[in-house]
Amino acid sequence: MKNFINLIVAAMLSTALLIVSAKADERELIEMPDDVRVKFLTQMRGMLESVDGMLLALSEGDYDQVSKIADIELGFKHRKWQKMIDDGSSEDEVQAKINAMREELAKPKKGYKKKKNSKSMSRFMPANARAMGRQMHLAASKLSVAAQNTEENPDTAKFQELLAGVQEITAVCTACHSVYKVR
Ligand code: HEC
């Protein structure tokens, strides 16, 4: 009887081990100093707030706000735009600069280039993670343009286009989260 119980316990243990190893976290570790990681995760939580804000604005039919959040919080050079606003630039001034940047980016062979030896946390990022970051900025920029081109009371197709635009952004969030972790 005792042997039988031992056998059952052993079987249960090995099943538990199997389940644990099936769920093992095999994501690639991005190493960064503690203070950078805190900043990184704070920014991440800010990005979730941005997505939340865009969904709220969509639900309220405020497409201008969708565009602003996409550009100023999730788009290319978003820190620069945020700083301009903090330093007192008007929203129109900032939007004009963003539109000019978009035109530059749309020109062939003039893609967005990350500065080398940047002091920002991106220097801790593997190239693939940086590429996903760019992908997210690109999706945000596309959504911003779509939101700017949305009239009041859009039809279902237009609204679906905007929702799909938000999902294009969250698809990048989840893709990166499934590949990387920080500790
Ligand atoms: C370039 C890769 C990348 C992209 C793109 C990305 N994240 Fe993250 N995010 C991470 C990593 C890595 C972590 C840490 C995960 C871990 O260690 O388990 C993280 C963590 C988070 C966290 C947890 C923060 C905390 O305090 O623990 C939130 C929330 C988050 N991300 C939201 C988002 C949202 C929303 C988006 C898209 C708008 C996004 N992330 C896009 C890489 C990314």
Tens digits of residue pLDDT in 12-35: 666 555 555 557 889 999 999 999
Q: Please, what is the end-to-end C-alpha distance for the chain in angstroms?
A: 46
In the chain the domains, ranked by start, together with CATH numbers, are 29-182 (1.20.120.10)
Q: Which residues sit with their C-beta closer than 6 Å to ligand 1?
A: 30, 41, 44-45, 47-48, 51, 129, 132-133, 136, 169, 172-173, 176-177, 180-182
Question: How far is residue 17's CA from residue 23's CA, in Å, rounded to a whole number?
Answer: 10
The alpha carbon of 136 is separated from its chain's Cα centroid by a whole number of angstroms, namely 5
pLDDT of residue 1: 64
Atom 41 of ligand 1: nearest residue by CA position? 173
Whole-Å CA distances, 27 to 69, 131, 176, 179: 30, 17, 10, 5
Tokens of 20: 């644990």
Contact 137, 112 (CB under 8 A): yes
133-172 pLDDT per residue, tens: 999 999 999 999 999 999 999 999 999 999 999 999 999 9
Q: Which residues of 135-159 are buried (b: 16+ CB within 10 A; e: fewer)?
A: bbbbbbbbbbebbbebeeebeeeee
Tokens of 30: 């991005």
pLDDT of residue 92: 87
31-55 pLDDT per residue, tens: 999 999 999 999 999 999 999 999 9
Atom 39 of ligand 1: nearest residue by CA position? 173
pLDDT of residue 144: 97
pLDDT of residue 39: 94
Question: How far is residue 136's CA from residue 70's CA, in Å, rounded to a whole number?
Answer: 10
72-116 pLDDT per residue, tens: 999 999 989 999 999 999 988 998 999 899 888 888 765 555 555
pLDDT of residue 6: 73
Q: Is 98 exposed, middle or buried (0-12, 13-18, 19+ CB in 10 A)?
A: buried
pLDDT of residue 133: 94
